[in-house]
Structure 1
Amino acid sequence: MPPRHSKWPRTILLAGIALLLVSLVVAAVLASVLTRGKQEMGPRRLKWKDKGTTRNLREVILGRCYSYVAARQPALGDKDCLKIWESLKQAFIYKNPCNITPEDYQPLMELASHPIPCNKSLFWSKTNDLVHRYTKSNHNFLTLEDTLLGYMADRVSWCGDPSAPGINYESCPKRTECESNPISVFWKMASKMFAEAACGVVQVMLNGSIEAGAFRSSSIFGSIEISNLNPDKVSAVQIWLMHDIGGPQSESCSGHSIKRLKGILEERNFKFNCEENHRPVQLLQCVNNPDHADCRLCSSKMETP
């Protein structure tokens, strides 16, 4: 009969195995908890200074696209709004919003482009509200925002993020944070295409009540659209220099920035004409100021430098 103490090594071995198993189970549970916590937190989303992507962006873009094709331009009935949305999404989703390129938007530009009738292109700078009130009341002219691309994107924002879900609804970069952000690149591309499509006489509405000057080389019009007007297609450039009703008349058609604009256009062989307070636009301004002295006179000055 073996001695009684011979059971101790076996008991110690079993206890050691049990302790090891318990340790393994505890480690597995802790690892699972930590991993799940990391998954729930996910990678940290990039933070920027501007507002984030417009909520329900897909529905907004699709709704505007269908509305434009059905009501504003029925002749564009062959446009595939779903493909247009997917092309826009692929241009920025899951991408660092400071690394967007023109190539990202090229498929979208091709899908959404359409002809612009001659003599109907209306460019603008610092006259956003007035110029679009005008095109809503007078359908003889089209701004960029009156094209399919501009109509879908007007006052809408979007940007991506490398982390899931690939779209940042909290913040997007301002232009001062990085030039190659989704909104800036989009509008530069769309503006370039709009200018390239212009033909005949083109109109430009500028703000003559701005102290810094009506024409600015750094504006979209000054830096992109002018250089992409085609002298072989555009016969003349007509400037409408508008002053605020009751506001300062900081610049006239003989002002310093208008002269600079004239020089740029004539150097590119464009005919140039400038009119102060184009009467149809001024009458629209007077709808909200019918009793003002400027509206009772409603005079229109013309100068052909």
Structure 2
Amino acid sequence: MPFQNRSSRTRHRHRALLLVGIMVLLVTLAAVLAAVLAQGRKESSKKLLHWKGKGTTENLEQIILGRCYNYVTTVNPALRDKDCQKIWETMKNAFIYKNPCNITIEDYQPLMDLASHPIPCNKSLFWSKTNDLVHRYTKTNHSFLTLEDTLLGYMTDGVSWCGNPSSPGINYKSCPKWSECESNPSSVYWKMASKMFAERACGVVQVMLNGSIDAGAFINSSIFGSIEIFNLDPDKVSTVQIWLMHNIGGPQSESCMGPSITRLKSILEERALSVSCEDNYRPVQLLQCASDPDHADCRLCTSNVE
């Protein structure tokens, strides 16, 4: 009987060791499986989201900092106390490591507060579909400021940027086009900056529109048509002067009496804003003629001046 008890104890011990071994094996397999899954998720997270627009501009930090320092040092020295390094860090924090279709007003508000500044009365110049011409004009006539002539616009004009949820947090390959999602970094930024620019306008304000496009000079869905005109303060803005410019040589698709301009006038007047319109505002037309002085339109322009 003693031998049988010892044999039974041995069998129980072997059975227990076998169970422990099986448990260790199962735990090990579970750990290995978890590690494989985690690695798979990690590898998956490294993939950049793919969009249809161009990616973040290379050397974005250096561009933003350089433009900021240039603006507060030479363009508008009155803003020399602006902290460009802090402005860049605040801008970066608004989009880095974030899904570029989930950007909010709250993301950019600290940047707007840091980089905004007053706009002198009678100097605000809005525009739509006249990008090249309006900025050629403000470069030669410093009596007016477009949004791109403010610090917020000057720093970011012509560059693109967006984040990505995974490392390195910035997507240099692609960013969403405005048509892909509404709450992308560029769209939210420019809409907020445009709203602020309009809110700060005072006195007589100007808007340069393109009378040579088939779609009509005033487009309701443009930033000017959907944001800026509705944020002009009638208590601060006395008059809106429309400069309706046509390309040298035409076509002249619309005049100041055209349907889209009539619609624009109606919207402004309903907001208790006085409005006037001038076809081919002469100082701007002379600038156009500088590029094509021998054109028939420019000879007529010259004779008018004489």
TM-score bracket, normalised by the shorter chain, equals 0.7 to 0.9
- Tell me whether 1:206 sits opposite 2:171 in the alignment: no
DSSP-derived class of the 2:181 partner: coil
| Equivalent residue letter for 2:217 | A
Q: Deviations over 1:45-84 (max 9, x none)?
A: 1000000000111100000000000000000011000110
Give the corresponding residue for 2:86.
Answer: 83
Which of 121, 126, 137 is the aligned partner of 2:124? 121
- Other-structure match for 2:234: 231
Per-residue CA deviation, residues 135-171 of structure 1 (Å, 9 max, x unaligned), is 0000000000000000001001000010101100000
What is the 5 A alignment of 1:88-103? 88-103=91-106
Structure 1 match to 2:16: none
Structure 1 letter corresponding to 2:186: I
Partner of 2:224: 221
Q: Compute the displacement of 1:247 (Å).
A: 1.8
**Residue type of the alignment partner of 1:194:** F
For residues 111-260 of structure 1, the aligned pairs below 5 Å read 111-260=114-263
Identity %: 76
CA–CA distance in 2 between the matches of 1:80 and 1:132?
Answer: 26
Moved over 6 A (4+): 27-38
Please state how far the C-alpha of 1:35 moved relative to its aligned partner. 7.8
Q: Distance in 1 between matches of 2:260 and 2:121?
A: 27
Change (3 A) 1:180 1:35: closer
Q: Which whole-Å CA distance do the structure 2 matches of 1:206 and 1:38 have between them?
A: 51
Q: 1:242-287 deviations in whole A, cap 9, x for unaligned?
A: 0000020000000000000000000011111000101110011011
Structure 2 residue matching 1:237: 3-state secondary structure? strand
* Aligned-partner Cα distance in 1 for 2:34–2:219: 60
Deviation at 1:38, TM superposition (A): 7.6
Aligned residues: 281
Pairwise CA distance, 1:44:
1.5
- Match of 1:298, SS? helix
Residue number in structure 1 paired with 2:299: 296
Counterpart pick for 1:110 among 106, 110, 113: 113
Distance 1:118 1:143 in 2: 13
Partner of 1:16: none
SS in structure 1 of the partner of residue 118 of structure 2 = coil
After superposition, the CA RMSD in angstroms is 2.4
Unpaired segments ≥5 residues, structure 2: 1-24
**What code does the residue aligned with 2:244 have?**
L
User: How far apart are 1:40 and its partner, in Å?
Assistant: 6.8
In structure 1, runs of 5+ residues without a counterpart are 1-22
Q: Distance in 2 between matches of 1:100 and 1:47?
A: 17
Contact 1:277 1:300 (8 Å CA) reproduced: no
